[in-house]
Structure 1
Amino acid sequence: MPTLLFAEHDDASLNPVTARALTAALALGAPVHVLVVGENARPAAEAAAKLAGVAQVLLADGPAYAHRRAEPVAALGVALAGQYGAIAAPSTAFGKSVLPRIAALIDVMQVSDVVAVIAPDTFERPTYAGNAIQRVRATDATKVLTIRTAGFAPATEGGSAPIQPVDEAGAFAGSRFVGEEIATSARPELTAARIIVSGGRAIGSAENFHSVVEPLADALGAAVGASRAAVDAGYAPNDWQVGQTGKVVAPDLYVALGISGAIQHLAGMKDSKVIVAVNKDEEAPIFQVADFGLVGDLFQIVPELTAEIAKAKG
């Protein structure tokens, strides 16, 4: 039976995590159908149809699916579940709100945060804050999976899958959309960024984030991240948090400034291809996972590094 993959998108475009989740879905060995749910979401469906390996795109487009509230989207997933051997979604806020509901409603066990597909019924997922990898065999007829996309390469374009409209699953009054506040930034989105510059509690203040961390990020064309300690202290907003209780990232380059390397933070970034750490404590745990380490005062090192990068860029 085919696999149903929920697309992550904003109606106008696909989030890059969808292409990564597609790679995991294809590893199940069955045809993959991508479900795009939203209002006026045809552009996102057309983008999904271009991904290599997609057999079909299902488009649920209508006012009932505006803002992708969990209840109507989960009901649609339940209505479609009987046609699929597996239902998957990126392990994002959207996926984590919808797939557990589907799993409960069809009475199966969900496998969360899949980082490797061993066989169509066997998966690996992190546990103990990423310190151990658990191998899980799912015996349910329908597998429900959230995918930790940082561990998978993105699928390429080159496909031309047909787009099939699907009907609404029903009317829902359990919740209503009230409003949203969306932070906008010229920097890359954290989970999709190739380069991330993160600051920890040692940064000392929100002002220092603006004057030390952000200029380096801008010089590198990077996203800005933060440890939980920095977020809890009010130095950085919640959506910058990297770690077990924040966002899991795996960029090409991760620069950790004043981050000690608590286990919860490492769980969110240790899969980065190259890790550079700057910390005045040479015994800091971050140096155990760093590819390059600078021991010293970050308030001296980082501005000098930013200036050298700017000079090199001319």
Structure 2
Amino acid sequence: MLARPLTAGLRAGIPSIASATLKQSSTRTFATSRSLLAQTLLVLEHKKGTIAAGSLVAATAASKIGGDVDALIVGNSDLDPAVEAATKISGLKKVHVAKDAKYDHLFAEPLAPLIKSVVEKGNYTHVFAGHSAIGRDVMARASALLDVSQISDIIAVESEDTFQRPIYAGNALLTVKSNDKVKVITVRGTAFEKAATDGGNGEKAEVAAVDGSAPTSFIEEKINQSSRPDLATAPRVVSGGRALKSGENFVTYIEPLADALKAAVGASRAAVDAGYADNALQVGQTGKIIAPELYVAVGISGAIQHLAGMKDSKTIVAINKDADAPIFQIADLGLVADLYDAVPELTEKVK
């Protein structure tokens, strides 16, 4: 892979790296250029008959390659409604369906050999998936089986073989050109619009399961039920930081404001590590990367790792008693105040 220098283009105030020049040697010689001969396979995630939002974003990215875009969907229980939903996704020509109990939980060990088989039989030049926990796991193994390098977490498609991805906690952008015969790509869930879930007429095609069993087994899944919007897709998010000092204060100050705004609840890594909030609520480089319409940061200083997870928010509001906190450098609106006074007042005014 080759990487061209590219000046970081983030909001003013974030320490940035002016350019990054990286070079990785490659012995493969399958150079490509943008053409209608590209054939793209989109690996779909689904749950309870619904296609994952990250897969719909990946579908939009895949459509920018040119050529036909087909999908692969697997599972056993709840598969039929997911297949019907997949055939209606705009832009898909064909939907490959593999029904087997070993695909039910999308484990990488059985799914990666299936992807390799479908890619080779269909002569696909690109494989796309969302940059989710499942996508990162499955695509890494699939790329190894295909003997190619994975291109992770892209935010732009420049051409059939050239892509953009963030590096250094989002502080610089890297332009990657791949000469691999198959490009295996994961797409950041906030980088593109979701593909339309109606208007499509994809053709269903049955695919036989291939050998490959998981050395792990599914035991149980515990899901925190909440009436609030899902953090990954919510249009509004209220996040709390270490300044909350306790989990009780998170409930007392953050949750009422989130409820008043009909927003999801988030947290910084410092708050999660301190036990104030559940790990599933973490926003940042090692948590969820989100881009809501409104992001309210309460008692969050603004470490670069946290900014990497929310800097693409349309409007950022910060409340912090430290006027020099880095979060104010990217905030659209900032309030220098003690959160214990400001948040209850703001909550009442919002109500």
TM-score (norm 1): 0.96
Q: Is the 8 A contact 1:42 1:59 kept in 2?
A: no
Q: Is the 8 A contact 1:64 1:168 kept in 2?
A: no
Q: CA deviation at 1:232?
A: 0.3
In structure 2, runs of 5+ residues without a counterpart are 1-37
Q: Which has the higher mean CA deviation after the structures are superposed, 86-95 or 296-305?
A: 296-305
1:30 matched to 2:70: no
Q: Which has the higher mean CA deviation after the structures are superposed, 181-190 or 112-121?
A: 181-190
Query: Which residue matches 1:282?
Result: 323
Q: CA deviation at 1:173?
A: 4.8
Q: Which of 314, 326, 332 is matched with 1:291 structurally?
A: 332
Q: CA deviation at 1:137?
A: 0.3
Query: Which residue matches 1:180?
Result: 221
1:9 matched to 2:46: yes
Separation in structure 1 between the aligned mates of residue 156 and residue 143 of structure 2, nearest angstrom: 20
Separation in structure 2 between the aligned mates of residue 293 and residue 80 of structure 1, nearest angstrom: 51
1:254 matched to 2:295: yes
Separation in structure 2 between the aligned mates of residue 30 and residue 218 of structure 1, nearest angstrom: 45
1:50 matched to 2:88: yes
Q: Which of 127, 142, 145 is matched with 1:87 structurally?
A: 127
Query: Residues 148-179 of structure 1: CA distance to partner in whole angstroms, max 9, x if unpaired?
Result: 12111111232121222211112515222222
1:123 matched to 2:191: no
1:309 matched to 2:346: no
Query: Which residue matches 1:192?
Result: 233
Query: Which residue matches 1:264?
Result: 305
Q: Is the 8 A contact 1:17 1:192 kept in 2?
A: no
Distance 1:272 1:173, change over 3 A: closer
Query: Which residue matches 2:149?
Result: 109
Equivalent residues in 2 for 1:131-210, closer than 5 Å: 131-156=171-196, 157-210=198-251
SS in 2 for 1:52: coil
SS in 2 for 1:170: coil
Separation in structure 2 between the aligned mates of residue 226 and residue 75 of structure 1, nearest angstrom: 37
Q: Which of 67, 83, 89 is matched with 2:105 structurally?
A: 67
Q: Which of 211, 214, 217 is matched with 2:255 structurally?
A: 214
Separation in structure 1 between the aligned mates of residue 320 and residue 166 of structure 2, nearest angstrom: 27
Letter of the 2:237 counterpart: I
SS in 1 for 2:232: helix
Separation in structure 2 between the aligned mates of residue 146 and residue 179 of structure 1, nearest angstrom: 27
Query: Which residue matches 1:76?
Result: 114
Query: Residues 48-73 of structure 1: CA distance to partner in whole angstroms, max 9, x if unpaired?
Result: 22221111222222212111111111
Q: Is the 8 A contact 1:198 1:213 kept in 2?
A: yes
The number of aligned residues is: 310
Equivalent residues in 2 for 1:203-242, closer than 5 Å: 203-242=244-283
Letter of the 1:16 counterpart: A
In structure 1, runs of 5+ residues without a counterpart are none
Letter of the 1:245 counterpart: T
Separation in structure 2 between the aligned mates of residue 167 and residue 209 of structure 1, nearest angstrom: 50
Q: Is the 8 A contact 1:11 1:38 kept in 2?
A: no
Separation in structure 1 between the aligned mates of residue 162 and residue 61 of structure 2, nearest angstrom: 12
Percent identity of equivalent pairs: 52
SS in 2 for 1:20: helix
Separation in structure 1 between the aligned mates of residue 349 and residue 131 of structure 2, nearest angstrom: 38
Runs of 4 or more, structure 1, over 4 Å off, are none
Separation in structure 2 between the aligned mates of residue 4 and residue 146 of structure 1, nearest angstrom: 12
TM-score (norm 2): 0.86
